[in-house]
Structure 1
Amino acid sequence: MADGLSFREAQTALELCLAQLQDQDLDVEKMADLYRRAQTYADRCESVLSQVEQEVMQWDPSQPDSAPTPYTP
């Protein structure tokens, strides 16, 4: 469901789910479904952010035992 979404798409879908969860007239089943969907979108956002973080990490091949460091311009 959320695997192919961009960060922005997943974030927007998450925000929509959260807004719907604030509706006090929701029945329990609908609330549970919205919660699961929101969690899926939140996981997708986290996945995209993690992937981007890995892409901007730098590794110095001349020091193979050193951990990658964040990119600094």
Structure 2
Amino acid sequence: MAADLSFREAQTALELCLAQLQDQELDVESMADLYRRALAYAERCESVLQQVEQQVMQWDPTEPELAPTPYVP
């Protein structure tokens, strides 16, 4: 199910669906199914991006536990 995928997994699945949709030999039913799956993967990607955007907008750099850790070689 697309809702359970990570962003990278959904993006890869979307790319695979789009590549398959370019196949000239697909029947109409297969095209419709691939289109629905591609749409679900695209929506999952958008959902993950929106969640990350919300987290970034809510991030408070003054909270010590959330502040980035300096790199020490």
Task: With the length of structure 2 as denominator, give the TM-score of the two structures.
Answer: 0.78
Note the alpha carbon deviations across 1:15-73, whole angstroms, 9 max, x for none: 0000000000000000000000000000000000000000000478xxxxxxxxxxxxx
Q: Which runs of 5+ in 2 are unaligned?
A: 61-73
Rounded to whole Å, the distance in 2 between the matches of 1:9 and 1:28 is 26
* Counterpart residue number, 1:14: 14
The alignment of Structure 1 onto Structure 2 pairs a total of residues equal to: 60
Task: With the length of structure 1 as denominator, give the TM-score of the two structures.
Answer: 0.78
Which one scores higher on RCO, CA 8 angstroms, separation ≥ 6?
A: 2
AA in 2 matched with 1:42: A
Q: Which runs of 5+ in 1 are unaligned?
A: 61-73
- What percent of counterpart residues are identical? 85
Superposed structure 1 runs of 4+ greater than 4 Å apart: none
